[in-house]
Structure 1
Amino acid sequence: MITRVEPLGIDLDVEEGETVMEAALRHGYRWPTICGGNATCGVCCLEVLRGANHCAPPGARELERLAAIGMPAAENGARRLACELRVQGPIVVHMPGVRAAVAR
């Protein structure tokens, strides 16, 4: 499944069962994280611009972390953590400040 990351304009091929962050790392990108992808820091918070219906629902751990960082998941699932987000179809995501944070 293809995930487009804006504002960089990069496309990630996300394999079944893989998170967006795992796909980015596999493709050679550094993704912003402090906790190493354990859903405890919230640094990888992103917004799903298109394709939210192709996202697996957030789990309790992700919902708790989003609420703790003041970014509660919207009803449409727009706010997510890249370290928890698994996709089942094409999506477009936006990460504020991503240009400096996601790099090869």
Structure 2
Amino acid sequence: MEVGDILTLTPEPTNKFDPNAIRIEYNTESWRALYGAPVFLGYVPKKFSSEVSALLSIGAPIYCVVEQINIGAKSYELIKVVVQTPDEELRDSEILPDELENDNYEGESL
């Protein structure tokens, strides 16, 4: 696993603790070729699960990306991920401050 890898988000509606639970899984093509099944890494935190679940249920494109790997950390702190939509990625990486100040800019408001 590397920073930048895309992880799989899988709803788990039968979860007894949270009906909006979303599993985070490592499921790259090379991993599947070797082992045949994804690796369960954990869950989207409950405080975000209902929003992520709702977006997944309507088919919204959502990405879970490995942002940081913390070797030697506690098991629940080993991997830091970011869950985002393509729009958030665009706002974070491609809109320059000059464009935001331009009255003719027709992108999404921030």
TM range (shorter): under 0.3
Higher relative contact order (CA 8 A, sep 6+): 1
Normalising by the residue count of structure 2, what TM-score does the alignment of the two structures yield? 0.24
Greater Cα radius of gyration, structure 1 or 2: 2
Normalising by the residue count of structure 1, what TM-score does the alignment of the two structures yield? 0.25
Higher relative helix content: 2
Higher relative strand content: 2
